[in-house]
Structure 1
Amino acid sequence: MTVTEIASPWLTDLDPRAVDEVVARLQDAADHGRTVVIAAHIGPDGDALGAALALHLALSRRGARTLPTWGEEPLRVPAAYADLPGIDDLVAPSDIPVDEVDLLVSVDSASVSRLGALQPLLAAGAPVIVIDHHPTNTRFGTVHLVAARAAATVVIVDELLRRLDVDLDVDLATCLYVGLVTDTGRFQHATTDRAAMELGGRLIEAGVAHEELTRRLFGTRTVGELTLLARALERLTFVPEARLVHAHVTAEDATEAGAGLEATEAIIDVVRTADVAEVAMVGRQETTGAWRISLRSRGAIDVGVVAARFDGGGHERAAGFTAEGTFDEVVDRLVAVLEEVRGG
């Protein structure tokens, strides 16, 4: 047994034949200058962006024509990720030459709905590689690398880069580290294992500015983000029968505060600490009127399963979905599902 196998039990979640096929397809794309769309999920977090940009940097250096993107327009990069290597190379969905796409790589998306405006690419005929670590992944691609025990999608991407013999420079390490540290909650979440800790150490050795990144990602909030947090906490509500604590912000709130989607993560991180909460929920209204819902669990309820009931997905303790209707209607539907899941 190799050191990699000892330190990375998540690798056994993957079909070795699928790993070989993905490596071969990525190598072929690099060798022949093929056009590869690398898609993060809508409302990308650090893991989605870090995984997409790491693949973009690595494959483009090898000769592929890579188009990093996600399925929303305009592309609004969260302030915390504005300086990530490769971020200036992002391509809007409307600028992607659909007829020229040779390969679509989806990173960190558990379902087709998370591709947003990029969903038509699935019908364009190009092979689709799905790289993800969400246990609720629906396997919507041609070949799948889904490792539910991987601490983050960047962990799987790092393994692919290793098999492609890509040298780990500071830019690649920075993208991977941002994904790792955000999805493990600064190595606090239950998914943090030896493999994640060892990868973090290796990335720091590669030159990652750990202190600066930590301050930017977790220690800095704009006045607008704090204003939105205050507005959400004014609406904090406890639903005793569901052990649910929820809060929300409207599209108007966000516009007035000048805060981006990333502010929702700051809100859920506070709401989840409520001592009476078994499940925490934060709703962020989009300009269309739909609600983007974030869920967190202390462990008794699998919110990944709950989110899947709303065509969303995620992990046992962190998940999300999008829903229509008033916020109260969404809460009522969620409470009903929570009671059903708990009863089951």
Structure 2
Amino acid sequence: MTEASPNQLSEMWPGLLAEIQAANHILLASHVNPDGDALGSALAFSFVLDQLGKSHEVLFHHPAPKYLNFLPGIERITNQPSGRPADLAIVVDLEAIGRIGETIYPAIAAAKKLVIIDHHQPNERPGDIRIVSTKSPATAAILADLWLPNNIEISPEIATLLLVGILTDTGNFRYPNTTPHSMHVAADLLEAGAKLTAINEAIYLTKPLPAVKLFGKALSNLRLAADNQVAYTTLRQSDFTNSGAIEEDTEGFVNELLAIDTVRMAAILRESASGRIKISIRSQGPIDTTQVAKQFGGGGHINASGAHSDDTIEVAAEKLVEAMVQCLASS
């Protein structure tokens, strides 16, 4: 099922619960370069497995970004699987199996059964059991719809983690994927003890100085195209070195470009230490960023996608802008 209503999601929980109860050991995982929805969803599930008395591990290829180190249970994540055989792997917020990451993929692949819980438009359809709702704004919202009607105790820790996932994937309820239902779910989580003030302070009101310096460089590299309807910028490894910033410090940069009043589509290209180019694309309204991301082997949502390129940053930028302009013209 690729589309499910909240009621349909809640009806899926008993079947998944039976699989969980039958498993002796469970692996939880998500995608590389984890964000608030990936970490919030996986850690919330970890606390639920605690309630159910199930042995489990929380596996991530990359560590959590520093701004999410306040999350309850963050110390649980590891990129070193124990080696204990798993009956069940539950992977959240993942649409393509290749995005799990090489350090934990063998453990996930060796599990007897794979469950995928996700809200992305699927590039692939991995998983023996798939709980997918592309209408949900976040995987955390799907989990809330699985648990709230089904007598799972939503502790303040679980509530906080789920709210982080919903807030970060809706841009603090600013993005078009925000729905009335997601607002109701957020209210339920607040009533359950979610720490909204702590979330906002950590994610939206605190920036390290190197991140601010790097954003200044991103602005100085800003370029416009298509009558100022397309904005893009580039960051080289030297920019990170000179500012003292790291990759996670670019979180939110592309959204600031989209805030320019004439801009309908924005992107940022970052050069990694390996030389590979990471691309983030955002748009407004009905402009489908996945049309661009798929040309670079990526994917995501209508208004937010990501991809990579093995070209130089100059060539990647040229190809990206051409694809964005074409996308804009066809929208």
In 1, Cα distance between the equivalents of 2:15 and 2:246?
A: 38
Would the aligned equivalents of 2:213 and 2:243 in 1 still touch at CA under 8 Å? yes
After superposition, where does 1:213-224 map in structure 2 within 5 Å?
213-224=199-210
Aligned residue for 1:25, secondary structure, equals helix
Q: Does the alignment pair 1:79 with 2:66? A: yes
Q: State the partner residue of 1:4.
A: none
- TM-superposed deviation, 1:20: 4.6
Of 232-241 and 332-341, more deviation after overlay is shown by 332-341
Any unmatched runs of 5+ in structure 1?
Answer: 1-7
In 2, Cα distance between the equivalents of 1:51 and 1:256?
A: 35
- 1:311 and 1:163, CA in 2 relative to 1: closer, same or farther beyond 3 A? farther
Aligned residue for 1:221, secondary structure, equals coil
- Output the aligned Cα RMSD: 2.5
Any unmatched runs of 5+ in structure 2?
Answer: none
Percent of residue pairs bearing the same amino acid type: 29
Would the aligned equivalents of 2:265 and 2:324 in 1 still touch at CA under 8 Å? no
Q: Does the alignment pair 1:102 with 2:97? A: no
In 2, Cα distance between the equivalents of 1:165 and 1:120?
A: 34
Aligned residue for 2:101, secondary structure, equals helix
In 2, Cα distance between the equivalents of 1:308 and 1:98?
A: 35
> Residue by residue, what CA displacement relative to the aligned partner does 1:90-110 show, whole Å, maximum 9, x if unpaired?
111xx2145612222111112
> Residue by residue, what CA displacement relative to the aligned partner does 1:232-254 show, whole Å, maximum 9, x if unpaired?
11110112279421112223322
Which of 3, 20, 27 is residue 21 of structure 2 equivalent to?
27
TM-score, L = length of structure 2: 0.90
Count of residue correspondences:
327
- TM-superposed deviation, 1:138: 1.9
In 2, Cα distance between the equivalents of 1:195 and 1:84?
A: 24
- TM-superposed deviation, 1:38: 1.2
- 1:13 and 1:315, CA in 2 relative to 1: closer, same or farther beyond 3 A? farther
Q: State the partner residue of 1:41.
A: 31
- TM-superposed deviation, 1:144: 1.0
- 1:163 and 1:139, CA in 2 relative to 1: closer, same or farther beyond 3 A? farther
In 2, Cα distance between the equivalents of 1:128 and 1:306?
A: 30
- TM-superposed deviation, 1:269: 2.0
> Residue by residue, what CA displacement relative to the aligned partner does 1:194-214 show, whole Å, maximum 9, x if unpaired?
211111111111122212221
Q: State the partner residue of 2:6.
A: 11
- 1:161 and 1:260, CA in 2 relative to 1: closer, same or farther beyond 3 A? farther
- 1:242 and 1:115, CA in 2 relative to 1: closer, same or farther beyond 3 A? farther
Q: State the partner residue of 1:5.
A: none
In 2, Cα distance between the equivalents of 1:340 and 1:119?
A: 36
Q: Which amino acid aligns with 1:45?
A: D
> Residue by residue, what CA displacement relative to the aligned partner does 1:7-47 show, whole Å, maximum 9, x if unpaired?
x973377696x655323212333xxxx22221121111111
Would the aligned equivalents of 2:27 and 2:108 in 1 still touch at CA under 8 Å? no
Would the aligned equivalents of 1:278 and 1:300 in 2 still touch at CA under 8 Å? no
Would the aligned equivalents of 1:23 and 1:163 in 2 still touch at CA under 8 Å? no
Of 248-257 and 217-226, more deviation after overlay is shown by 248-257
Q: State the partner residue of 1:67.
A: 57
- 1:108 and 1:9, CA in 2 relative to 1: closer, same or farther beyond 3 A? closer
TM-score, L = length of structure 1: 0.87
